[in-house]
Amino acid sequence: MAFARVLLKNTRYVLLDEATSALDHENEEALYQQLASTSATIVSVTHHQSLVKYHSLILELKPDGEWTLCPAAQFHLEEVLV
């Protein structure tokens, strides 16, 4: 329902917290392609590397309290499990 609301209304900002975690890859891609076609600013919390291409900046929060902000094109996920 949240995706339908975003796509039907002229939403300026979209905050997504693991919003597509239960979807398969194809449906997740389809939803993000639809979101990317809007003028909304998208902020996502995700662990899916495949969604990086739908963002311009990536804020990575690290387990030790450090963080990095970099352009999405330069982002490479470091596999660190806590």
Looking at the structure of the chain, the number of domains it has is: 1
Owning domain of residue 23: 2-54
Give 24-81 pLDDT, tens digit per residue.
Answer: 889 889 988 988 888 888 898 888 888 888 899 999 888 889 999 999 998 877 655 4
Task: Determine, yes or no, domain membership for 9.
Answer: yes
Beta-carbon contacts of residue 62 (< 8 Å; ≥ 6 apart): 68, 80
pLDDT band at 23 (very low <50, low <70, confident <90, very high): confident
Output DSSP code: residue 12.
Answer: S
Q: Quickly list DSSP for 15-78.
A: EEESTTTTS-HHHHHHHHHHHHTSS-EEEEE---GGGGGG-SEEEEE-TTS-EEEEEGGG----
Query: For the whole model, what pTM was predicted?
Result: 0.74
Task: Determine, yes or no, domain membership for 31.
Answer: yes
